[in-house]
Amino acid sequence: MALLDVRDLRTHFFTRDGVVRAVDGVSFSVEKGKTLGIVGESGCGKSVTALSIMGLIPKPPAKIVTGEVVFEGRDLVTLRDRELEDVRGHEIAMIFQDPMTSLNPTLKIGTQITEVIRRHLDLSKGEARKRAVDLLEEVRIPNAAQRLDDYPHRFSGGMRQRVMIAIALACDPKLLIADEPTTALDVTVQAQILDLLDDLRQRHDMAMIIITHDMGVVAEAADEIVVMYAGQIVEEANTLDLFDRPEHPYTEALLGALPQIEGDGIRSGRLTAIPGRPPDLIAPPPACRFAPRCPYASHNDTCTVEPPELREVRPGHWVRSAHPACERAGSREPAGVAR
């Protein structure tokens, strides 16, 4: 049984302008000790998915309309707030893009860590402080014992993210959700944080969900990848297969948009940008939501009439498109293989 099983999750925002279908029928699972990457542009619903799992969506205007979030056999959607609080931080922890907004600027780092430890674990003040030092050392903050008495502004962006990771680890969670954990950081610091997360995941036998807009980040970090677009999953596969043979035109576009570091003609060439913007989720395109930006969708195509289903084009490789790479003319293999 998977550690986390999200089934047909729909989180909608009820606003004055209409119903925003931020997450619209999303299903995936995370195995114990594994890392799932969720990739997509801003506004595709990946963060709302994470917040829905955590029970942190703002209600109102948001509401989980349908779906289950089954964690170790319990459906978190049906839990009461008190019960959910016990799960949150204790069994599932989350870190965010900007650690400064999650840290209290007026409290010392040590106070903020021990607060979390003591809420979930039965430890004395002294024991909690000792545990806090261990945690800061584990996330490789130099002079951990002294630094407990510093305020957040004394830490650089990368160090603040390490503090957030330490707080997330405080109760040895089974699942860590990292929402754009390195987006605000330099590439050098990003690399260090990703390496740290991977080490910690192995040492604690923890599962992870990494949410990012950058295919380069999930290539390194994830075992399995889900690509989201306009509130839906458009492609899902294990990491090697997704990068070897991306199927959805949107996934291909995300890969093409990355600047290359090796090769010729980089300076003189252009990057492959995705034209247009993601659709309005109050009134998304009626059929395939990617059709208006898709290079393969023609005017009177089925995909502008009928919404494509998520289907398995190869064992374990799922695509929601009428035009996956493997079915295009001149593609690498005959259409419909292993369907």
Check binding of 17 to another protein (CB under 8 A). no
Q: Which residue has the tokens 């630094």?
A: 147
Rounded-to-integer distance, Cα 198 and Cα 208, Å: 9
Q: Which is nearer to another protein, 111 or 192 (CB)?
A: 192
Among 55, 158, 173, 324, binds another protein (CB under 8 A): 158
Burial classification of residue 218, based on how many CB atoms lie within 10 Å of its CB (0-12 exposed, 13-18 middle, 19 or more buried) = buried
| Interface residue with another protein, options 17, 80, 187, 309 (CB under 8 A) | 187
- Examine residue 229 and tell whether it contacts another protein (CB under 8 A): no
Applying CB under 8 A, the span of 19-27, 49-57, 166-174, 252-260 interacting with another protein comes to 252-260
Nearer to another protein, 92 or 148 (CB): 148
Instruction: Give least dist CB 126 to another protein, A.
Output: 27
Using rule CB under 8 A, residue 188 touches another protein: yes
CA distance 87 to 105: 26
Nearest distance, CB of residue 278 and another protein, angstroms: 9
From 253, 297, 319, 322, residue interacting with another protein (rule: CB under 8 A): 253
Would you say 116 or 239 has its CB closer to another protein?
239
Q: Can you tell me which of 83, 149, 195, 205 binds another protein, judged by CB under 8 A?
A: 195
Beta-carbon contacts of 302 under 8 Å, excluding residues fewer than 6 positions away, are: 287, 322
- Angle of helix 125-138 versus helix 157-169 axis, rounded to 10: 130
- Segment near another protein (CB under 8 A), from 98-106, 152-160, 170-178, 324-332? 152-160
Which listed residue (15, 42, 78, 104) binds another protein by CB under 8 A? Answer: 42
Could you say whether residue 16 binds another protein (CB under 8 A)?
Answer: no
CA distance 230 to 67: 18
The residue to which tokens 């899902």 are assigned: 236
What is the smallest separation between the CB atom of 201 and another protein, expressed in angstroms?
Answer: 14
159 makes contact with another protein (CB under 8 A): yes
Regarding 156 and contact with another protein (CB under 8 A), the answer is yes
Which of 98, 220, 296, 302 touches another protein by CB under 8 A? 220
Q: Which of residues 53-112 bind another protein (CB under 8 A)?
A: none
Query: Which of 5, 41, 68, 115 is close enough to bind another protein by CB under 8 A?
Result: 41
CA distance 19 to 24: 11
Q: How far apart are CA 268 and CA 294, in angstroms?
A: 25
Decide whether 59 or 203 has the Cβ nearer to another protein. 203
Give the footprint of another protein on this chain (CB under 8 A): 41-42, 142, 153-159, 186-192, 194-195, 213-217, 219-220, 239-240, 243, 253-262, 266-267, 270-274, 277
